[in-house]
Structure formats: C-alpha cells, structure tokens
Amino acid sequence: MWVRDRRMDLVAANALGRALYAPVLDDPASRGNTARFTFLNPAAQNFFPDWERNADDIVATLRTYAGQNPHDKPLTDLIGELVTRSDGFRFRWSKHNVRHHRTGIKRIHHPVVGLLEFSYQAMDLPSDPDWFMFAYTAEAGSVTDERMKLLGSLAATEQDAGVRSRP
C-alpha cells in the first residue's frame, strides 16, 4: 500500500510499497513524484511497461485535479515544470483529457524482481481529501505473488541491516 497526493507525490507507504516504488523514491530528480519520474526519467519507460497508458492516465488525472483546484500553486508549478521540460507531457496536456482512474491493472518492471502485475484499487481518505491510498494485490500463487514475497524479504533484510532508512 502507498499513499499519494494530488500532485503525484508519494507521501506514505508501507515497507513493501517503499520497496516496490524504490526507483521513484530513490531518484533525486523525481523527489518521490510519479509524474516527474514518468516524464523526466528515461528509466520510467522500463519501470512502467505500459508507459503510454500510464502517462496518459497521469496527465488526465492531473488535469482533473487542476480543474478542481485551479489555485493550487504547487500543482500548477508541477504542471508548468512538466509542460516546459517534457514533450510527452506537453502533447498529452494539450489534448485536455480528464479522468481519475480508481481501479485497474498495473504492470511494473521492478529492477530487482522483474515483471509484476497487480490489480489495484484507489481509495479516498476522508480525513485528508488531497490524499489517495492505493492497494495493489497479486493473485495468490502467481509469479507476481512469489516475486513480491522475495521483494518483501529483501526489503526486510535491508531494513534490518540499516541499508535503507526513510521517514
């Protein structure tokens, strides 16, 4: 599980969520922001095998949030940054698509454990309407399930060894 805000910043995650999204969290240029990672880091096209669809979804979601909160300066700053730095973002932004995806299939190619496929569900957090919690589930006994067990074991070992420490 992990939580993100309307600006696509990962604001909280359990240990397995942090391990899953380590490439995004560890990228100093992205600063834990999935939109920046997707559009400004070339590694994103490998990390998200369905990069085109993922990119379309991010832009449509950001456009939804911008329409709901037109005076959110950090959000408009992020959009301005991406429009000026990414042709892919600028092209998609000009289409004016609006959509907030809540469920679906997410494929991630994790650099340590390989290709993973999840069903996901996004949930509103009533106590903080700017945050959204995402739960990823793998089919029991699937390759993804086995790989996530391995990733969880590796993350726990690293945490026990003090290799990775995050707030």
CATH code for the domain of 98: 3.30.450.180
Any residues with CB less than 8 A from the CB of 14 and at least 6 apart, and which? 1, 2
- What is the chain's mean pLDDT, rounded? 92
- pLDDT tens for 47-89 read 999 999 999 999 999 999 999 999 999 999 999 999 999 999 9
What is the domain range of residue 21? 2-161
Q: Is residue 147 part of a domain?
A: yes
Whether 83 and 93 have beta carbons less than 8 Å apart is answered as yes
Domain count, the chain: 1
| 167 part of a folded domain | no
CB 120 within 8 A of CB 136: yes
Digit-coded pLDDT (tens) for 135-149: 999 999 999 999 999
Is residue 90 domain-resident? yes
> Running DSSP on this structure, what letter comes out for residue 98?
-
Has residue 163 got a pLDDT over 70?
no
Residue 166 pLDDT > 50, yes or no? no
| Residue 130 lies inside a defined structural domain of this protein | yes
